[in-house]
Structure formats: structure tokens, C-alpha cells
């Protein structure tokens, strides 16, 4: 059976305010102590990280093997769409 559309009776709920314990003063947090670097500057660290790409060589090898064996699904439409989006600087998650 379908319920009728319209106003429905509302049951009352206990709306008393719950008791709350008084707040306790909290000591301020200590200021952070800067960590000592072993003579490395931020630019040196960035240079070291940029020297080696974050690539999982094992995964790349598996994908290359799957492509060579014809087991890796390649959708030309998706590749074309992504190339056009890259050229036009679109985000793939932007609404059309």
C-alpha cells in the first residue's frame, strides 16, 4: 500500500540538554624544534630526488610484455581523447 502524500504526525523526542563537564585549561603546545640536516640544503635534496625518476621498473616490464603479447587493452578512442585534452590543457575530470 502506498502512503498518502501530505503532513504526517510528528512524535516528540526528548530534547533536554545533556550535562557537560566544565572545560579544563590546556597548556599551550611547545614550539617545534627544527630538525638538523646533515649539511644538505633543500635545493640539494630536490636535485637528488630529480636525478632518479620514481618508476617501478618491474611494472613497466610487465606492461611492455603484455603489449607485445597483445594482452594489454588499448582503446584508441581513450588515447585520442587524452592526447587532445593534454594539447588543450583540459583536466580529464572537468565537466564538459
More confident residue, 83 or 23: 83
Output the pTM of the full model. 0.33
pLDDT at 12 over 90: no
- The Cα 67–Cα 75 span in angstroms is 12
Residue 65 is predicted with a pLDDT of: 93
Chain segment 40-62, per-residue pLDDT in tens: 788 888 888 788 778 888 999 99
Residue 62 is predicted with a pLDDT of: 93
pLDDT at 39 over 60: no
Rg (CA), the chain: 30
Amino acid at each position: 500500500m502506498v502512503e498518502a502524500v501530505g503532513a504526517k504526525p510528528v512524535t516528540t523526542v526528548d530534547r533536554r540538554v545533556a550535562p557537560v563537564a566544565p572545560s579544563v585549561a590546556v597548556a599551550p603546545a611547545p614550539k617545534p624544534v627544527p630538525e638538523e640536516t646533515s649539511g644538505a640544503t633543500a635545493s640539494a635534496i630536490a636535485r637528488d630526488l630529480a636525478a632518479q625518476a620514481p618508476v617501478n621498473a618491474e611494472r613497466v616490464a610487465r606492461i611492455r610484455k603484455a603489449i607485445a603479447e597483445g594482452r594489454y587493452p588499448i582503446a584508441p578512442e581513450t588515447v585520442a581523447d587524452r592526447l587532445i585534452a593534454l594539447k588543450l590543457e583540459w583536466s580529464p575530470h572537468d565537466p564538459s
